[in-house]
């Protein structure tokens, strides 16, 4: 909520940050620094932050013109 309300990040920006955090967390599990039983990402899904964005690419027809 803080990233959204105070830092004014979009859902996609928040998702990118959480994916990085999840990767670091999973690496710590692999390195036996923390136990997998404490995995926060089993209940918190990062994929819920995906939001549809408007296409910014021009069409092939416009490119050919």
If DSSP states are collapsed to H, E and C, what string results for 2-63? Answer: HHHHCCCCCHHHHHHHHHHHHHHHHHHHHCCCCCHHHCHHHCCCHHHHCCCCCCCCCCHHHH
Could you report the per-residue pLDDT of 15-54, keeping only the tens digit for each? 888 888 888 888 988 899 988 776 777 766 666 656 666 7
Q: Is residue 18 part of a domain?
A: yes
Q: How many domains does the chain have?
A: 1
Q: Is residue 25 part of a domain?
A: yes
Containing domain of residue 27, as a range? 2-50
Q: Is residue 62 part of a domain?
A: no
pLDDT for 46: 65
Q: Is residue 16 part of a domain?
A: yes
Predicted structure pTM score: 0.55
Q: Is residue 63 part of a domain?
A: no
């Amino acid at each position: 909520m803080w990233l959204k309300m105070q830092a004014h990040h979009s859902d996609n920006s928040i998702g990118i940050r959480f994916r990085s955090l999840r990767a670091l967390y999973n690496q710590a599990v692999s390195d036996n620094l923390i136990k997998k039983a404490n995995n926060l990402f089993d209940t918190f899904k990062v994929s819920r932050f995906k939001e549809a964005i408007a296409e910014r690419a021009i069409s092939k027809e416009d490119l050919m013109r």
